[in-house]
Amino acid sequence: MELTAVITCKDRLFNARYCIASIASCKPRPHVILVDFNSTTSMRGLQRTFPWLNIVEVRDPKVNFHKARALNIGIKRVQTEFTCLTDVDQIFQPNFFNCVLSACREDRNFVMCDTHFLETPLGDPSPAAFDRATYFRLLEKAKKSKKRPHGEGCCHGVSTEWLRSVRGLDERYIGWGFEDKDLVLRAKFSGYSIVSLSSKTSMVHLPHSRDKKYFNKKLRLRNERLYKEKRASKDVIANVNTKWGAV
CATH superfamily of this structure's domain 3-159+193-207: Spore Coat Polysaccharide Biosynthesis Protein SpsA; Chain A (3.90.550.10)
Taking all residues of the chain, what is their mean pLDDT, rounded to a whole number?
93
Residue 129 has pLDDT above 90, yes or no: no
pLDDT in tens, 28-72: 999 999 999 999 988 999 999 999 999 999 998 888 899 999 999
Confidence of residue 10 (pLDDT cuts 50, 70, 90): very high
Rounded Cα gap, residues 154 and 137, in angstroms = 20
Q: Where are the domains of the chain?
A: 3-159+193-207
pLDDT at 124: 54
| DSSP letters spanning 99-159 | HHHHHHTSTTEEEE--BEE--S---SSPGGG--HHHHHHHHHHHTTSSSPSB-SSS-EEEE
